[in-house]
């Protein structure tokens, strides 16, 4: 509202300022030649000064004075057009009125086409001070990052941030965060395994030598660390030692308690192994997982993280149309104007998807 | 909300500039004082609105409002506050807004202080200024709008290009733009004179202060840019004959010519048509400079992200204004009364010589700058014209001018006496020669050319001082009288002398650095030392350092003089800005008098050492000190009361016939 | 020997024209001597460049080609993905000199066919690609605008 008041006041003020000279009478302007004479008079004075200073001789000064005098006389003789300005004609009045009228028309018309009058400013400080429960994940991260920028030696902070990065797919930052926590405090199995997992994810699922070293270090600290054991087995599998990997997973499965989520993970891994890690099957498995996620979201659409995961999955599978449609459905489900909808829109934009306003 | 108000203010300013470009023009044509009267409030309102708009953008930068695309692209919440503010004009959109702001400010100055101008001339000048403002406001709104928004806003910005995060950037573009845009007033005056079909001595006197102000600002802007490149790019160079640098140098050359030809026009009523043409050309070259910088049509070391579509827009503005004004010139120039002829050996003759040399030099630089474009469009081959070309052409062309400069102010108007002037300059000549010989035999026996170059530099300085001494009558009259006369000299005499002496100082710096510079390069390990021009540079090691939005590795050096005494520390560093993933080099500089020891770090060598490049830059500071002195000369001239034309008699009871003062 | 007014004017105009003629000649001569042509490595292979002719060589810095030699010597390969030319250079490389990034090296081929650069230009801005490099690589379909 305030914006409209200010905009209207500016427009009105500008019109009023232009109106003032139009309302005034049509005074006669001084003629132009008077100005020229003024310059010549000044030049005469300067000759006096130069002569007084001894820069020019008296005869030179006399010559110069005579020349300027001739110029002045020539000017005065040239009879100027008398009464240089005519009384205001009606046409001028119409032009003046049109000029003033054009101000609101041009400005409001052009602004309507280009401006975003309903979009308030978003100063960073104010955004960060808002109630955290209202904030999006990325604002929470920004808060944590700001905290860590001020206190870079806070290992706890890195512990909090690292798994969030990992979940959001910011793998290299996750790896750095885990490494920072290890460096500042001490390497624990969880930190090492997390770093290894981030490195693996950053390498598109390949357990790199670096990652393997982290997992092995984690197991040295804590021999029964499940994620590390799983990835060490995966590394053997990727290195072509399918049998050894199978044996390790089997061993791991036997030690698992009832209901552990690792059952499913290992089963899937071993299925993949049984099918000779055929790429088709692996892809089929991913497709299945994505399909089930999509189905779950159809049933229960109010899940920002779910939508985000689905969109990302489609992008990873190189199905941008599906990603686009998931984005559209997600935003529709959240309400495009809601904070969550805006959040999805931002996420979509960051992946290069389109967001309809 | 403030952002949108800024946006709206800009749109409203555009609407006003349309009114300003039409109504006063029509008013002047119809002789209607009311329509002409629209010009002043319109010009002042445009300034107020553009200033509001600029303030709004600044607030968005200060508050890190990343819902503004421009802020998001060029700022970062961790950036130091100073660079948040300078970042406003550290990017294309913001710098164009600054351009328009300065344009509006100049128009407002004419509106405020143009009370002594004839009404029609003032209306026409402001209308032309309004046209320029309208064109550039449209450009900003249509193709480089700094107020575009992002919804939802990103949480962190992309930061400003680190090499632009520098105090030099805070000063360089505003000064440069003051110069570029200042010439728009001269252009507007020239076009207005063509529209009216009359031009007189008063016109030249009105144009001169604007030319002086623009010229002084441009001098400062170029000098600042050169110093910035010198210490920020880490190459040790101060001028690269790069297209972007040439783009700022061209209006300087023609502006300098304009400055001098306007004097002839005012004093002798000659060179009228030429002066009008120069005023048009100078601003045209400013526009060309803006175009070259913003379009990226020429490969430049200064090229930042550029956008060809914007280039086409500016090219169209360029064609419209240059083409339009030159067409008007062709149509109307014959109606301007031509001036008288004069003796070649006279003050005005000297000033014509100055114009001949300056415009020829400018034409050479222009050809060299545009040659790659011409060749490419004709034959498709890509070529580059670099420093070797300009050194070969510009130097020889400008040298005779430098030699002639001290004569100019000593010659009388109308008919000068070259022989007498030479006699008066005898002392200056002898002193310069003595210094050249001293340089050759005492300082360095390497180069005769260097000694001669230094002689030229001192010739300019002593020549300027001679002029002052003669005008004050030193040696002719008693010291007390001379002192009184010296103090009583018109300010513009001091201005001339300072500007000419400044030119000499800059020449001195350039010659000294070009001829006597010492460069050393080596791989150094901590504890190593190398000899640079008599100083021993000891490398103490690399130390990490954490800046607000960067990390750096500082290479610390100690330099010792011949006797082995420690003289000070030099810190040169390699910085890394994580937001842009960009490394920069910060040169380490130590000043010894007017000379500098300059140290830049290179890459790490495989054996752990670091490549170090060090220069001894003798008298290098004179390059910029000279520019500052020139600028000061311009400023002092500007203060000369005589440049302000008195308001004519119209305010008093108007005599039937114009008042003629008898020649006493 | 007093000249008439007309003669004087002619002398002045003649002098000015002579000066302009000198300036023009000098400019054209310098353009012929000092302008350097832009080549990509493929151009070099196609057209050939005489030893000692000053050129600007543009392309991308080939991956893994940067090798430090003795002291401040460094060599790297400039490639346009068709041909590759090895450049040797003594000095400090620009800050933004990186593998797979645009670069312009200015210098000459020596008698043994090695390209010796005295100036190496990289960009100032991470979005910047030297225009000649971008154009010639676009023409060959190797590089595309990101937008």
**Cα distances (angstroms) measured from residue C55 to each of B602, B622, C65:** 25, 34, 21
* Residue that wins the pLDDT comparison between A264 and A9: A9
* Residue that wins the pLDDT comparison between B180 and A274: B180
- Indicate the pairing of strand C84-90 with strand C115-121: parallel
From the list B123, B21, B107, B190, the residue with the least C-alpha distance to A85 is: B123
pLDDT in tens, B120-168: 888 999 999 999 999 999 999 988 899 988 877 777 777 777 777 878 7
Q: What is the pLDDT of residue B656?
A: 37
Three-class SS of B260-305: HHHHHHHHHCCCHHHHHHHHHHHHHHHHHHHHHHHHCCCCCCCCCC
User: What contacts B318, CB < 8 A, 6 or more positions away?
Assistant: B284, B287, B288, B291
Name residue C78's beta-bridge partners.
C61, C85
Q: How far is B587 from chain A (nearest CA, A)?
A: 27
* Residue that wins the pLDDT comparison between A137 and B424: B424
Which residue of B7, B11, B551 is the best one to mutate when testing the A interface, meaning the one whose CB has the most A CBs within 10 A? B11
pLDDT category of residue C147 using cuts at 50, 70 and 90 = very low
Whether residue A129 lies within 8 A of chain B, CB to CB, comes out as no
> Could you report how far apart the first and last alpha carbons of chain C are, in Å?
74
Which residues in chain B are contacts of C25 at CB distance < 8 A? none
What average pLDDT does the structure give for chain A?
A: 78
Position A233 pLDDT exceeds 70: yes
Q: Residue B368 in contact with residue B389, Cβ under 8 Å? A: yes
Q: How far is B207 from chain A (nearest CA, A)?
A: 13
Give the chain C residue whose CA is nearest to the CA of B240: C119
Listed by start position, the domains of chain B span 1-162, 166-406, 425-516+627-632, 518-617
Position B303 pLDDT exceeds 70: no
What is the C-alpha to C-alpha distance for residues A71 and A52, in angstroms, rounded to an integer?
A: 23
Q: What is the pLDDT of residue B219?
A: 95
Instruction: Please give the radius of gyration of chain C, using alpha carbons only, rounded to the nearest integer.
Output: 22
CB contact under 8 Å between B392 and C30, yes or no, is yes
* Residue that wins the pLDDT comparison between C146 and B270: B270
pLDDT in tens, A9-61: 999 999 999 888 887 765 554 455 667 777 777 778 877 877 776 667 777 78
Whether residue B304 lies within 8 A of chain C, CB to CB, comes out as yes
SS3 content of chain B, % helix, strand, coil (to 5): 65, 10, 25
What SS3 state is found at A233?
Answer: helix
Whether residue B522 lies within 8 A of chain C, CB to CB, comes out as yes
Element (H, E) at C135: helix C131-139
DSSP per position, B427-465? HHHHHHHHHHHHIIIII--S-HHHHHHHHHHHHHHHHHH
Q: How far is B219 from chain A (nearest CA, A)?
A: 29
User: What contacts B411, CB < 8 A, 6 or more positions away?
Assistant: B345, B346, B347, B349, B350, B417, B418, B421
CB contact under 8 Å between B5 and A86, yes or no, is no
Nearest Cβ partner of B37 from A24, A60, A65?
A24
pLDDT in tens, B304-321: 445 667 778 888 888 999
pLDDT in tens, B573-622: 888 887 777 778 888 999 888 999 999 888 777 777 888 889 999 899 99
Nearest Cβ partner of B389 from C9, C35, C96?
C35
Starting from the edge strand earliest in sequence, which strands make up the sheet with B582-586, in order?
A: B529-532, B535-546, B551-560, B566-577, B582-586
pLDDT in tens, A95-145: 888 988 999 999 999 998 888 888 888 887 777 766 555 556 666 677 777
Position C23 pLDDT exceeds 80: yes
Whether residue A44 lies within 8 A of chain B, CB to CB, comes out as yes
How far from chain centre, in Å, is Cα B203? 24
- Indicate the pairing of strand C55-61 with strand C36-39: parallel
Which residues in chain B are contacts of C56 at CB distance < 8 A? 384
CB contact under 8 Å between C37 and B382, yes or no, is yes
Position B10 pLDDT exceeds 80: yes
Nearest Cβ partner of C36 from B297, B386, B522?
B386
DSSP per position, A172-198? HHHHHHHHHHHHHS---HHHHHHHHHH
* Two structure tokens written together for B73: 């692209």
Q: Determine the length of chain C.
A: 147
Name residue C84's beta-bridge partners.
C79
What is the C-alpha to C-alpha distance for residues B314 and B296, in angstroms, rounded to an integer?
A: 12
Q: Of the ranges B171-175, B384-388, B442-446, which one carries the lowest mean pLDDT score?
A: B442-446
Q: Which chains touch A (3 or more CB pairs under 8 A)?
A: B
pLDDT category of residue B114 using cuts at 50, 70 and 90 = confident
Q: What is the pLDDT of residue A255?
A: 80
Which residues in chain B are contacts of C134 at CB distance < 8 A? none
| Choices 3.40.50.20, 3.40.630.10, 2.40.50.140, 3.40.50.720: CATH for C37-139 | 2.40.50.140
Whether residue C121 lies within 8 A of chain B, CB to CB, comes out as yes
Q: How far is B13 from chain C (nearest CA, A)?
A: 32
Name residue B531's beta-bridge partners.
B536
Q: Residue B84 in contact with residue B165, Cβ under 8 Å? A: no
Question: HSE-up of B517 (CA within 13 Å, CB side)?
Answer: 19
Q: What percent of chain C has pLDDT over 90?
A: 0
Q: How far is B579 from chain C (nearest CA, A)?
A: 12
Position A86 pLDDT exceeds 60: no
What is the C-alpha to C-alpha distance for residues B427 and B433, in angstroms, rounded to an integer?
A: 10
Q: What percent of chain B has pLDDT over 90?
A: 34
Which residues in chain B are contacts of C71 at CB distance < 8 A? 521-523, 605, 611
CB contact under 8 Å between B471 and A55, yes or no, is yes
Q: What is the pLDDT of residue B636?
A: 92
Listed by start position, the domains of chain A span 278-349
Q: Where are the alpha helices (DSSP H) in B473-618?
A: 479-488, 491-516
* Burial of residue B87, with CB atoms counted within 10 A of its CB: 0-12 exposed, 13-18 middle, 19 or more buried: buried
* Two structure tokens written together for B313: 């827009």
Q: What is the pLDDT of residue C137?
A: 54
Q: Residue B594 in contact with residue B620, Cβ under 8 Å? A: yes
What is the C-alpha to C-alpha distance for residues A323 and A318, in angstroms, rounded to an integer?
A: 9
Listed by start position, the domains of chain C span 1-35, 37-139
Whether residue B341 lies within 8 A of chain C, CB to CB, comes out as yes
Q: How far is A142 from chain B (nearest CA, A)?
A: 7
CB contact under 8 Å between B602 and C91, yes or no, is yes
C42-78 burial string, b = 16+ CB within 10 Å, else e? Answer: bbbeeeebeeeebbbbbbbbbeeebebeeebebbbbb
What is the C-alpha to C-alpha distance for residues B639 and B114, in angstroms, rounded to an integer?
A: 17
Whether residue A151 lies within 8 A of chain B, CB to CB, comes out as no
DSSP per position, A94-126? HHHHHHHHHHHHHHHHHHHHH--TT-----HHH
Nearest Cβ partner of A96 from B38, B201, B646?
B38
Nearest Cβ partner of A35 from B30, B648, B659?
B648
Which residues in chain B are contacts of C34 at CB distance < 8 A? 385-386, 388-389, 392
From the list B233, B664, B406, the residue with the least C-alpha distance to A61 is: B664
Position B437 pLDDT exceeds 50: yes
Domain B1-162, CATH: 1.20.120
Q: Which residue has the tokens 């939508």?
A: A307
From the list A203, C2, C126, A56, the residue with the least C-alpha distance to B73 is: C126
Position C110 pLDDT exceeds 80: yes
**Cα distances (angstroms) measured from residue C66 to each of A207, B604, C128:** 29, 12, 21
CB contact under 8 Å between B66 and A37, yes or no, is no
- Other C-beta atoms closer than 10 Å to the C-beta of B602 total 20
Instruction: Please give the radius of gyration of chain B, using alpha carbons only, rounded to the nearest integer.
Output: 27
Q: What percent of chain B has pLDDT over 70?
A: 92
Nearest Cβ partner of B383 from C5, C37, C131?
C37
Q: Of the ranges B264-273, B295-304, B557-566, C75-84, which one carries the lowest mean pLDDT score?
A: B295-304
Element (H, E) at B49: helix B39-62
Whether residue A345 lies within 8 A of chain B, CB to CB, comes out as yes
Q: Residue B23 in contact with residue B39, Cβ under 8 Å? A: yes
Chains C and A share 3 or more Cβ pairs within 8 Å: no
Which residues in chain A are contacts of B475 at CB distance < 8 A? none
pLDDT in tens, B206-254: 888 899 999 999 999 999 989 988 887 777 788 888 888 888 999 999 9
Mean pLDDT of all residues in B277-306: 74
Q: Which residue has the tokens 């036997």?
A: A254
Q: Chain B neighbours among C 72-91 (CB < 8 Å)?
A: 72, 74, 90-91
Nearest Cβ partner of C128 from B305, B574, B581?
B305
Question: HSE-up of B263 (CA within 13 Å, CB side)?
Answer: 21
Q: Residue A290 in contact with residue A303, Cβ under 8 Å? A: no
What is the C-alpha to C-alpha distance for residues B647 and A30, in angstroms, rounded to an integer?
A: 10
Mean pLDDT of all residues in C113-137: 66
DSSP per position, A302-336? --HHHHHHHHHHHHHTT-HHHHHHHHHHHHHHH-T
Which residues in chain B are contacts of A11 at CB distance < 8 A? 12
CB contact under 8 Å between B602 and C26, yes or no, is no
Q: Give the ipTM.
A: 0.81
| Contacts by residues A209-217 (CB-CB < 8 Å, ≥ 24 positions apart) | A211/A235, A217/A187, A217/A192
Q: What is the pLDDT of residue C133?
A: 56
Which residues in chain B are contacts of C10 at CB distance < 8 A? none
Q: Determine the length of chain A.
A: 357
DSSP code for B474: B
What is the C-alpha to C-alpha distance for residues B84 and B106, in angstroms, rounded to an integer?
A: 26
Which residues in chain C are contacts of B613 at CB distance < 8 A? 72, 91-92
Q: How far is C87 from chain B (nearest CA, A)?
A: 17
Q: Chain C neighbours among B 359-398 (CB < 8 Å)?
A: 360, 363-364, 367-368, 371-372, 375, 381-386, 388-389, 392-393, 396-397
* Residue that wins the pLDDT comparison between C146 and B225: B225
Element (H, E) at B573: strand B566-577
Phi, psi of B444 (to 5 degrees): -160, 125
From the list B576, B600, B596, B597, the residue with the least C-alpha distance to B586 is: B600
> Could you report how far apart the first and last alpha carbons of chain A are, in Å?
22
Mean pLDDT of all residues in A156-180: 81
> Could you report how far apart the first and last alpha carbons of chain B are, in Å?
67
Name residue B585's beta-bridge partners.
B574
Q: How far is B304 from chain C (nearest CA, A)?
A: 6
Q: What percent of chain A has pLDDT over 70?
A: 83
Phi, psi of C86 (to 5 degrees): -90, 135
Q: How far is A18 from chain B (nearest CA, A)?
A: 6
Which residue of B360, B395, B599 is the best one to mutate when testing the C interface, meaning the one whose CB has the most C CBs within 10 A? B360
CB contact under 8 Å between A18 and B41, yes or no, is yes
pLDDT in tens, B510-564: 998 988 888 888 888 888 889 888 888 999 988 888 877 788 889 899 998 888 8
B to C CB pairs, distance under 8 Å: 136
Q: Residue B77 in contact with residue B156, Cβ under 8 Å? A: yes
Nearest Cβ partner of A103 from B19, B141, B153?
B19
């Amino acid at each position: 509202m305030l914006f409209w008041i200010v905009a209207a006041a500016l427009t009105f003020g500008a019109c009023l300022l232009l109106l003032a000279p139009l309302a005034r009478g049509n005074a006669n302007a001084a003629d132009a030649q008077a100005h020229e004479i003024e310059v010549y008079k000044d030049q005469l004075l300067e000759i006096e000064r130069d002569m007084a200073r001894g820069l020019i001789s008296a005869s030179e000064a006399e010559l110069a004075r005579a020349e300027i005098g001739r110029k002045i006389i020539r000017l005065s003789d040239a009879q100027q057009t008398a009464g240089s300005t005519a009384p205001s004609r009606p046409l001028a009045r119409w032009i003046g009125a049109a000029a003033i009228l054009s101000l609101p028309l041009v400005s409001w018309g052009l602004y309507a086409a280009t401006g975003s009058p309903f979009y308030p400013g978003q100063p960073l400080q104010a955004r960060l001070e808002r109630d955290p429960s209202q904030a999006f994940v990325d604002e929470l991260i920004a808060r944590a990052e700001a905290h860590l920028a001020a206190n870079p030696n806070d290992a706890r902070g890195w512990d909090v941030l690292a798994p969030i990065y990992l979940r959001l797919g910011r793998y290299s930052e996750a790896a750095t965060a885990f490494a920072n926590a290890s460096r500042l405090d001490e390497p624990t199995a969880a930190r090492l395994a997390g770093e290894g997992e981030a490195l693996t994810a950053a390498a598109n699922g390949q357990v790199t030598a670096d990652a393997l070293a982290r997992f092995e270090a984690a197991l040295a600290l804590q021999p029964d660390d499940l994620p590390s054991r799983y990835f060490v087995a995966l590394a053997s599998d990727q290195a072509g030692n399918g049998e050894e990997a199978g044996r390790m997973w089997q061993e791991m499965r036997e030690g698992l308690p009832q209901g552990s989520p690792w059952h499913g993970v290992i089963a899937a891994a071993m299925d993949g192994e049984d099918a000779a890690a055929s790429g088709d099957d692996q892809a089929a498995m991913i497709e299945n997982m994505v399909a089930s996620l999509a189905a779950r979201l159809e049933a229960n659409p109010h899940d920002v993280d779910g939508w985000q995961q689905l969109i990302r999955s489609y992008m990873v599978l190189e199905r941008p149309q599906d990603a686009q449609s998931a984005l559209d459905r997600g935003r529709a489900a959240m309400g495009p104007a809601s904070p969550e909808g805006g959040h999805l829109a931002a996420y979509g934009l960051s992946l290069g998807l389109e967001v309809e306003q | 909300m403030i952002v949108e108000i800024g946006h709206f203010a800009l749109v409203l300013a555009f609407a006003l500039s349309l009114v300003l470009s039409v109504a006063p023009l029509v008013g002047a044509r119809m002789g209607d004082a009311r329509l002409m009267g629209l010009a002043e409030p319109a010009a002042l309102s445009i300034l107020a609105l553009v200033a509001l708009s600029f303030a709004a953008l600044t607030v968005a930068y200060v508050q890190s409002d990343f819902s503004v695309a421009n802020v998001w692209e060029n700022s970062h919440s961790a950036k130091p506050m100073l660079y948040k503010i300078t970042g406003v004009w550290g990017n294309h959109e913001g710098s164009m807004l600054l351009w328009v702001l300065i344009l509006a400010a100049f128009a407002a100055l004419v509106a405020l202080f143009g009370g002594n101008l004839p009404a029609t001339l003032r209306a026409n000048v402001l209308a032309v200024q309004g046209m320029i403002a309208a064109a550039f406001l449209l450009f900003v709104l249509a193709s480089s709008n700094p107020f575009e928004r992002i919804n939802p806003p990103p949480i962190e910005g992309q930061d400003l290009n680190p090499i632009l995060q520098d105090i030099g950037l805070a000063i360089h573009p505003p000064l440069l733009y003051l110069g570029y845009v200042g010439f728009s007033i001269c252009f507007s005056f020239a076009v207005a004179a063509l529209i009216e079909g009359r031009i007189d001595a008063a016109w030249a006197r009105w144009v001169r202060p604007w030319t002086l102000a623009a010229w002084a600002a441009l001098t400062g802007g170029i000098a600042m840019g050169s110093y910035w490149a010198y210490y920020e790019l880490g190459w040790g160079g101060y001028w690269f004959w790069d297209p972007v640098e040439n783009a700022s140098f061209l209006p300087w050359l023609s502006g300098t010519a304009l400055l001098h030809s306007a004097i002839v026009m005012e004093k002798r009523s000659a060179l009228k048509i030429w002066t009008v043409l120069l005023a048009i050309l100078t601003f045209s070259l400013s526009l060309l400079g803006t175009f070259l910088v913003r379009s990226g049509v020429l490969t430049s070391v200064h090229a930042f992200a550029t956008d060809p579509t914007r280039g086409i827009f500016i090219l169209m503005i360029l064609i419209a204004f240059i083409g339009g004004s030159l067409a008007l010139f062709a149509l109307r120039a014959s109606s301007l009364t031509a001036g008288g002829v004069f003796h070649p050996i006279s003050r005005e003759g000297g000033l014509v010589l100055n114009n001949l040399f300056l415009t020829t030099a400018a034409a050479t630089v222009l050809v060299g700058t545009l040659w790659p474009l011409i060749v490419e469009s004709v034959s498709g081959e890509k070529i580059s014209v670099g420093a070797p070309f300009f050194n070969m052409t510009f130097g020889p062309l400008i040298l005779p001018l430098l030699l002639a400069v001290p004569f100019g102010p000593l010659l009388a108007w109308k008919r000068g006496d070259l022989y007498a002037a030479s006699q008066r300059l005898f002392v200056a000549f002898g002193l310069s020669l003595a210094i050249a010989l001293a340089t050759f035999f005492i300082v360095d026996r390497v180069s005769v050319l260097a000694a001669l170059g230094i002689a030229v530099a001192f010739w300019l300085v002593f020549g300027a001082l001679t002029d002052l001494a003669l005008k004050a009558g030193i040696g002719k009259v008693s010291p007390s009288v001379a002192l009184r006369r010296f103090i009583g000299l018109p300010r513009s005499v001091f201005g001339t002398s300072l500007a000419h002496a400044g030119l000499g100082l800059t020449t001195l710096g350039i010659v000294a650095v070009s001829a006597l510079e010492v460069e050393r390069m080596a791989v150094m390990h901590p504890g190593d030392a190398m000899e640079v021009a008599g100083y021993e540079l000891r490398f103490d090691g690399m130390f990490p350092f954490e800046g607000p939005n960067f990390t750096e590795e500082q290479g610390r050096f100690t330099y010792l003089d011949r006797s082995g005494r420690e003289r000070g520390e030099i810190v040169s560093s390699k910085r890394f800005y994580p937001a842009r993933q960009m490394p920069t080099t910060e040169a380490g500089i130590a000043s010894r008098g007017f000379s500098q020891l300059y140290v830049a770090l290179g890459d790490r060598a495989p054996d752990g050492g670091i490549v170090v490049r060090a220069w001894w830059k003798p008298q290098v500071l004179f390059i910029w000190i000279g520019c500052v002195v020139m600028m000061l000369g311009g400023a002092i001239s500007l203060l000369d009361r005589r440049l302000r034309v008195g308001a004519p008699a119209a305010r008093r009871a108007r005599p039937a016939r114009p008042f003629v003062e008898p020649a006493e | 020997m007093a000249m008439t007014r007309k003669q004087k004017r002619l002398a002045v105009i003649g002098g000015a024209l002579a000066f302009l003629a000198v300036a023009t000649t000098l400019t054209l001569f310098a353009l012929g001597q000092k302008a350097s042509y832009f080549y990509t490595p493929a151009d070099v292979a196609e057209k050939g460049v005489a030893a000692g002719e000053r050129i600007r060589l543009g392309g991308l810095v080939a991956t893994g080609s940067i090798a430090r030699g003795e002291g401040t010597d460094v060599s790297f390969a400039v490639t346009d993905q068709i041909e590759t030319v090895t450049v040797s250079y003594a000095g400090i490389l620009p800050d933004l000199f990186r593998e797979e990034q645009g670069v312009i090296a200015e210098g000459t081929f020596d008698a043994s066919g090695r390209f010796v650069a005295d100036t190496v230009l990289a960009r100032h801005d991470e979005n910047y690609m030297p225009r000649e490099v971008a154009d010639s690589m676009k023409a060959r379909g190797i590089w595309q605008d990101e937008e």
